[in-house]
Chain A
């Protein structure tokens, strides 16, 4: 050793392991337009499919005449429900235990529902012919209001199950009822309310929104009649689940189905489930013997494939007069549309909604959720959140503000008083969840100090006085949200999808030269997995991140996993990666001991090598050990250096954060401007701070869109009125505020590297924060709850109702 010998710290830095702001390796191809997406796939002889869709929200299909469409030159086939019945695929199972029409079978249940599938030599011919499919409809009364779905005179949406008293999740009390699901202790909660000094009750609505990824849902199906094998390329967040479900539906043996998810342009939950387009493309390929491509357009995406939210949450809090919460109740009506195609863990029809007690120490709580059918598109996916967590976070964070207002307490002070204290972790909530770790007061204090919360409240006071004197027509709102997420689904005792436990996997092979490949059961849609998983391996194995390839999305090569959604990649596959590394490291240690002629226990790990304790000049680097693994393993040991781990997490992880928003509202137009937005996130161990920051920027931008303008809106005739980006608010760089990000670090005690997941936190925490800011602007005038989305006219209407335009 001499002065030129790199120190441990220098060697560690070169690895670009955990904590490094490593540049995203996938961006090299993305920024050059060299990504490979489904629509880039062109196969010889490939055909194109397009749908004829229903203009009606609810109608009987009297007749479908495909003659004219089939006669268009270039049209190869036209498929209807009758065609699909010959292969028993007119209906398909959903992830939520319901069934869903693939193509309209006797009735249409929502506008733009798939009625016929035209397959043609090119995309234009398919679109031309789809217009020529003649469908005779007989209109039926429709209902798009979930609160009226279970009324006596509501039109029956699902005639196929109208007499079924038992659904996938228990008894049904009305033909339009999907399920009732409850959690918590009702008697105890009722008692808390009976004894409470102060209570509040508010209907808090989280409207129907859509994940709206830049790339829509799409697939290419190619059936090889000789081999009897199906290859399916698609925008799949969970390719293995698609393969298993595909095999169960189609009866093609699972080993003869090859599912490949190439680069994906955003998913946000939209690409978890299975859609009629996939089934039709597969059937079309089987029928024609040629590859068939199906690509959704934007209107189809927004109006038919997997919406999110649509929760009507009557939320109540009980508290003592000095501001200590004593009880929580929430009765929710969940609009599932025409079919329950919700993407949840199978046992949880309302997902993890019982995280609704949030970050607060509620001694008693109860929730009850009724799912209902309406004449709207199916879905109910977790749009950048763990299952129904953002709905829960919105309800509790809005309700906490309303209670603070009633108690005449500052919302921050009220929260501080009720946050679960550091010494209470691990903390068991009134719903039975065991929160693994947290340090909430520290986070909230840091957030308040950083933004100068007290000064902001003083400024707001002056602004309100000036408003009352008529000197300004602007109101200042300060929004606060303290959220706790429950992510990393999940432990097999809690979570499965169609019986498959929600573990995930990593398989690592280290090559002789010390480079390697890691394959996983998850699937990046932009999260940067190729970058971050390699960083975990770099730190665990002491090999440079640049020497590790990360591969996902091919069910033939990747180990089985449940995919990427619900912030589960880091908590589950990230853990699997670390555990697989540790198996490799244990073997490497034995090889090192053999080479150095010492006992295993005489070695210690030093960044990228095993060295002899007390004699650091005697060492073997991981790169040397990789070579040795292929030519001088100890006698009796198998050669090679690889490992696989299937990780079944012992618990969920519970990331949290404190967000603060300062908003200025123009009372005369209802428009509002975000002056400042500060987001403090605690996601435990931080793997790549730059990717975390990017994730938070993206999630906050989505949250801004949701809170301030997004809604999938239906008129009373069931027409979807916001099915294009003209009317569905997707913020551009111009509208998007500047984001300030910050963090605290409270590692997860049960996760191998202490990481908790972060991608969805900003959506979960951001929405209530923006909404609370708008509401706070008007709170001093007695307003308790202005509903989202806070677009100009709704905010103006709220101001108008308060008499501010007289």
Chain B
């Protein structure tokens, strides 16, 4: 558990960070909170020659409203997500999710940007971002571009980011006031990745679902947006039969690995159980 040798860089601006990543090449890695990268380095699964630490980049901090969206700086910590009045009021699923990530010590350092950008299927925020239809602001040597969360994840630790590009902010369309939401996570202990987890955001009117979006964590090589299941539920009263059908549709898109959390079949079933429970809580919160 001793990492290999590396050089450490601490830029103070996005431009400087991107410049360093560009000039140092493939052996350089950006580091945010480090809670995924440092363990991988200690296990020598990753051996970057250069670490470009983003902690000193002030522009990457902060949470603010921008028209109909909310912008969260990539270096915002999970603790700051939980502590944010704006997020608690407007997108409460974020703080609900963040409290299920690791423990307070990790949340003081771990960042939301690192969580979404690393491409680890075990991370919780990516499925939530897909559920919320978030967009990531990415900056590289050719400037800034925006990538939809739903198109960002391509494989385990494999994302739409180009070499040298970093996620600078997360843009989330503010959900309608009074929406229902829930993040349900089954884990073995504090600090564990999900055996399976489900994020639900929905709106309702007159006892019917007017919109519904579902994300699933750690039940495939990438986080999943359960589009078909979401569609099945839209327009329904979340009656048992429709929920069962939607759960089956969600389970159908999973392909979890068998690991010490359980065999694949069990983890798929747990995705269904988590979704059923998340729907139940989201329904209650949406007031029907």
Contacts and interface: CB of A to CB of B under 8 A. Distances in A.
A413 to B, nearest CB: 35
B190 interface: yes
Contact of B186 (A127, A726, A792, A805): A792
Contact of A735 (B190, B261, B262): B190
B1 interface: yes
Nearest to B122: A726
Interface string A100-143: 00000000000000000000000110111001000000000000
Contacts of A299: 1
B195 A721 contact: no
A128 B1 contact: no
A727 interface: yes
Interface string B1-38: 11011000000000000000000000000000000000
B262 A792 contact: yes
Contacts, number: 57
Contacts of B103: 732, 734
Contact of A793 (B1, B190, B263, B273): B263
Contact of B266 (A721, A726, A797): A797
Interface string B249-288: 0000000000111110010011001000000000000000
A671 B1 contact: no
A298 interface: yes
Contacts of A709: 188-189
A796 B191 contact: no
B64 interface: no
Contacts of A668: 273
B5 A793 contact: no
Nearest to B196: A669
B262 A793 contact: yes
Given A131-B44, A669-B270, A797-B266, A791 B2 contact: no
Q: Which range contains the number of B residues in contact with the other chain? A: 20 to 34
Interface in A704-722: 709, 713, 721-722
A128 B189 CA distance: 33
A297 B44 CA distance: 14
B186 A734 contact: no
A258 B1 CA distance: 30
Contact of A732 (B186, B191, B261): B191
B190 A732 contact: yes
A128 B188 contact: no
B73 to A, nearest CB: 29
Contacts of A126: 2
A516 B5 CA distance: 51
Given A131-B44, A668-B273, A669-B270, A735 B1 contact: no
A311 interface: no
A731 B260 contact: no
B145 to A, nearest CB: 35
A373 interface: no
B112 to A, nearest CB: 22
Given A123-B2, A299-B1, A792-B195, A671 B260 contact: no
Contacts of A297: 1-2
Contacts of B5: 124, 128
B113 to A, nearest CB: 23
B30 to A, nearest CB: 23
Nearest to B273: A668
Most buried by B among A50, A669, A721, A793: A793
Interface residues of A, number: 30
A731 B189 CA distance: 7
Contact of A713 (B4, B188, B260, B263): B260
Contacts of B1: 297-299
Contact of A124 (B2, B190, B195, B266): B2
B260 A796 contact: no
A721 B273 contact: no
Interface in B176-197: 186, 188-192, 195
A729 interface: yes
A721 B260 CA distance: 8
Given A722-B260, A734-B190, A793 B266 contact: yes
A127 B44 CA distance: 10
A128 B4 contact: yes
Nearest to B263: A793
B2 A729 contact: no
B189 A734 contact: yes
Interface string B226-268: 0000000000000000000000000000000001111100100
B224 to A, nearest CB: 19
Contacts of B195: 792-793
Contacts of B269: 796, 805
Nearest to A735: B189
Contact of B273 (A669, A731, A732, A734): A669
Nearest to A126: B2
Contacts of A669: 186, 270, 273
B189 A791 contact: no
Contacts of A722: 260
Contacts of A124: 2, 5
Most buried by A among B2, B191, B263: B2
A709 B261 CA distance: 10
Given A732-B103, A797-B266, A727 B189 contact: no
A722 B261 CA distance: 11
B107 to A, nearest CB: 14
A235 to B, nearest CB: 17
B188 A729 contact: yes
A609 to B, nearest CB: 54
Contacts of A726: 192
Nearest to B274: A669
Interface in B184-216: 186, 188-192, 195
Contacts of B259: 721, 727
A793 B189 contact: no
Contacts of A792: 186, 188, 195, 261-262
Contact of A127 (B2, B261, B263, B273): B2
B261 A793 contact: yes
B254 to A, nearest CB: 15
B138 to A, nearest CB: 29
B122 to A, nearest CB: 10
B266 A796 contact: yes
A383 B261 CA distance: 25
Contacts of B270: 669
A791 B187 CA distance: 10
Contacts of B188: 709, 729, 791-792
B80 to A, nearest CB: 22
A26 B270 CA distance: 47
B13 to A, nearest CB: 31
A734 to B, nearest CB: 5
B266 A727 contact: no
Nearest to A131: B44
A150 B2 CA distance: 40
A128 B191 CA distance: 29
A732 B189 contact: yes
B185 to A, nearest CB: 11
Contacts of B4: 127-128
A797 B273 CA distance: 15
A722 B259 CA distance: 10
13 contacts: A128-B4, A669-B186, A709-B188, A722-B260, A729-B189, A734-B103, A735-B190, A792-B195, A792-B262, A793-B261, A793-B262, A796-B269, A805-B269
Interface of A: 50, 123-124, 126-128, 131, 297-299, 668-669, 671, 709, 713, 721-722, 726-727, 729, 731-732, 734-735, 791-793, 796-797, 805
Interface of B: 1-2, 4-5, 44, 103, 186, 188-192, 195, 259-263, 266, 269-270, 273
Given A669-B270, A734-B190, A796-B269, 9 more contacts: A127-B2, A297-B2, A727-B260, A792-B186, A793-B195, A793-B262, A793-B263, A796-B262, A805-B269
- The 5 A-B pairs with the shortest beta carbon distances in the complex, nearest first, are A793-B262, A127-B2, A297-B1, A727-B260, A734-B190
